Chains A and B, each alone.
Chain A
Amino acid sequence: MTEGANQKTTAEEAVEVALEVNGTVTKVLVPSRWLLSDVLRHRLGLTATHVGCEQGVCGACTVLIDGVPTRSCLLFAKAAEGLAITTLEGVLDDPALQALQEAFHRHHALQCGFCTPGMLLTALAMVRQQVPAEPETIREYLSGNLCRCTGYQYIVEAVAEVLQAVDRGDPAGSPALP
Chain B
Amino acid sequence: MEHSRPQWTGARVARVEDARLLSGRARYLDDLPLPGCLEVAFVRSPHAHARIRRIDPRLALAMPGVVAIWTFSDCPVRLLQSGVYPVGQPALADGEVRYVGEPVVAVFAADRYLAEDAAEAVEVDYEPLPAYVDLAAIVEHPDWAVHPPVDNRYVHREYATEGFDQAFAQAPHHLRVRFRTRRQTAVTLEPRGAAAVFDPASERLTFYASTQSPHRMRGDLAKFLGLPDHRVRVVVPEVGGGFGMKANTYPEDILVAWAALKLGRPVRWVSDRMESLLADAHARDDIHDVEVAFDGEGRIWAVADHLMADGGAYPGYPFSGAVGETGLAAQVLTGPYQIPHLKTTIDCVFSHKTPLGAYRGVWGPIASFVQEGIVDRVARAVGKDPAEVRRLQLIDQFPYRNPAGLVYDPGSYRDSMELALKAIDYDRWRDEQRRGWREGRYLGIGISVFVEPSAMAASESGSIPYEAATLRMEPSGKVTASLGLGPTGQGHETTMAQLIADALGIAVEDVVVLHGDTDSAPLGGGTGGSRSATIGGGAALTAAERLGEKVRRVAAHLLEADFEDVVLAQGQAYVRGVPSRALPLAEVARIAYTDVARLGPELEPGLEVTARYRPPLPMTFSNGTHVAVVEVDIETGLVKVLRYAVVNDCGTLINPQIVEGQIVGGVAQGVGSAFLEELAYSEDGQLTTTTLLDYRLPEATDVPPVEIQHLTTPSASLGGMKGMGEGSLIAAPAALVGAVNDALAPLEVWFSEIPITPEAIVRAVRRRAEAPR
Contacts and interface: CB of A to CB of B under 8 A. Distances in A.
B499 to A, nearest CB: 18
Interface stretch (B13-21, B219-227, B307-315, B366-374): B13-21
A2 B35 contact: yes
B701 interface: yes
A148 B27 contact: no
A153 B113 contact: no
Contacts of B14: 105-106, 108, 178
Interface in A125-177: 135, 138-140, 142-156, 177
Interface string B103-118: 0000000110110000
Contacts of B35: 2, 4-5
A80 to B, nearest CB: 17
Nearest to B696: A57
A71 interface: no
Interface in A70-101: 87-89, 92, 101
Contacts of B113: 31, 33-34
A67 interface: no
Contact of B699 (A47, A48, A143): A143
A111 B273 contact: no
Contact of B691 (A33, A51, A57, A150): A57
Interface residues of B, number: 66
Contact of B36 (A5, A120, A143, A150): A5
Nearest to A46: B24
A147 B667 CA distance: 13
A63 to B, nearest CB: 11
A28 to B, nearest CB: 14
Contacts, number: 197
B189 A52 contact: yes
A64 interface: no
A25 interface: no
A152 B700 contact: yes
Nearest to B66: A9
Interface string B60-94: 00001110000000000000000000000000000
Nearest to A110: B21
A47 B21 CA distance: 11
A117 interface: yes
B116 to A, nearest CB: 11
Interface centre among A5, A111, A150, A151 (most CB of B within 10 A): A151
Interface string B265-299: 00000001110000000000000000000000000
Given A6-B36, A112-B241, A146-B692, A152 B22 contact: no
A153 to B, nearest CB: 5
Contact of A88 (B24, B274, B661, B665): B24
A50 B111 CA distance: 18
Interface of A: 2, 4-12, 31, 33-34, 41-42, 45-55, 57-58, 60, 87-89, 92, 101, 104-106, 108, 110-117, 120, 135, 138-140, 142-156, 177-178
18 contacts: A8-B110, A9-B110, A10-B114, A31-B113, A52-B273, A53-B273, A54-B273, A55-B273, A58-B697, A60-B189, A108-B661, A110-B18, A112-B241, A113-B21, A113-B240, A117-B24, A151-B706, A154-B664
Given A112-B190, A140-B700, A148-B189, 20 more contacts: A4-B35, A5-B36, A7-B110, A9-B64, A48-B24, A53-B272, A57-B691, A60-B189, A88-B24, A92-B23, A101-B22, A110-B21, A111-B489, A112-B239, A139-B700, A149-B665, A150-B664, A151-B669, A152-B668, A155-B700
Interface of B: 14-15, 17-28, 30-31, 33, 35-38, 64-66, 110-111, 113-114, 186-191, 238-241, 243, 272-274, 488-491, 657-658, 660-661, 664-669, 691-693, 697, 699-701, 703, 705-706
